[in-house]
Amino acid sequence: MLLNEVVHESAEYLKELALSHECASHPLFVRLKNRPLSKQQAVALLVNYDAHASLLRRLLLTAAAFMPEPAVGFVIENVRNEYGNGDYGACHQGLLRDLIAKVSSEKKTDSKATQEVLEPGFSASVRIFSGVRKYITKVVTYYKPKLDRNCKKHGYFAPAITAGAITATEIMALEEFKAMQKGFIDFGLAEHPWFDHVNVECEHSEESLALAQYFFDEYNASASVEFGFQKTLAINVHLYDGLLEAINRYEDK
């Protein structure tokens, strides 16, 4: 179902649609904006972020292979960024884990909970919270859509659904990084290379909008794009629930 039954010629409206979706005003963003994180909260947040980002990387790889030939290029650059643009030492997961290591060795704060988080092999001891797990289970459906009876009835095109899912992810990733970066100011880590994502995600969201536009123009598939887009935004609520759970778990009482 298209928003207000309006058929859009430009995919640009998707940005507004994402930012006015309930996921964009999730309490996670309020929490990150209003109060600093403790060390253990920062680590728990990052470990949980890593869990979902690891899946998304793989789903993007699959999505690139799944696209019509002319659309592969819109996805491939994004995946290449994830893997360090040819230098695996600069891959995004490596940067994230370096940030976890730096937060862990940062001097301020302490409590018993810190021990639980920061013991050797600490990342294994941080729970992946239920919201993140739920996100991981559900998002696959829209990155690798199998057209059920409902989708077939609407004439949805599977690669365009994937394009919608990618676009929702990339637009919201920019919001996530802007919010998370604030939480690392007090650690002196807001300029850590992982937070270059504030720029990287800007590019990704533009590329993903170009991908969505391709399906608008070449396949008249805006309904399929919007279907994947809206479903993924709704699933993002679970992700943000999980990241907030991770922070709340280590909230000082």
Q: Which residues contact 176 (CB under 8 A, 6 or more apart)?
A: 49
Closer of 21 and 52 to Fe ion (Cβ): 52
| CA–CA dist 114, 108 (Å, integer) | 11
Q: Minimum CB separation from Fe ion for residue 63, in Å? A: 12
Among 21, 204, 231, 238, binds Fe ion (CB under 5 A): 204
CA atoms within 13 A on the CB side of 88: 0
Please give the residues from 147 up to 176 whose contact with Fe ion meets the rule CB under 5 A: 170, 173
Q: Minimum CB separation from Fe ion for residue 216, in Å? A: 21
| CA–CA dist 163, 214 (Å, integer) | 9
Q: Which residues contact 34 (CB under 8 A, 6 or more apart)?
A: none
Closer of 85 and 111 to Fe ion (Cβ): 85
Closer of 229 and 250 to Fe ion (Cβ): 229
Q: Minimum CB separation from Fe ion for residue 95, in Å? A: 8
Tell me the C-alpha to C-alpha distance, in Å, between residue 166 and each of 69, 111, 116, 142, 143: 17, 39, 35, 9, 7
| CA–CA dist 253, 248 (Å, integer) | 10
Length of the chain: 253
End-to-end CA distance of the chain: 45
Closer of 50 and 201 to Fe ion (Cβ): 201
Q: Minimum CB separation from Fe ion for residue 209, in Å? A: 12
Question: Using the rule CB under 5 A, is 52 a contact of Fe ion?
Answer: no
| Piece of the chain touching Fe ion by CB under 5 A; list 36-44, 83-91, 141-149, 195-203 | 195-203
Closer of 36 and 94 to Fe ion (Cβ): 94
| Piece of the chain touching Fe ion by CB under 5 A; list 14-22, 146-154, 199-207, 241-249 | 199-207
Q: Minimum CB separation from Fe ion for residue 249, in Å? A: 24
Q: Minimum CB separation from Fe ion for residue 228, in Å? A: 16
3-state helix, strand, coil split of the chain in percent (to 5) is 75, 0, 25
Helix or strand (DSSP H, E) at 183: helix 158-183
Question: Using the rule CB under 5 A, is 92 a contact of Fe ion?
Answer: yes
Closer of 39 and 204 to Fe ion (Cβ): 204
Q: Minimum CB separation from Fe ion for residue 112, in Å? A: 33
Site residues (CB under 5 A) for Fe ion? 92, 170, 173, 201, 204
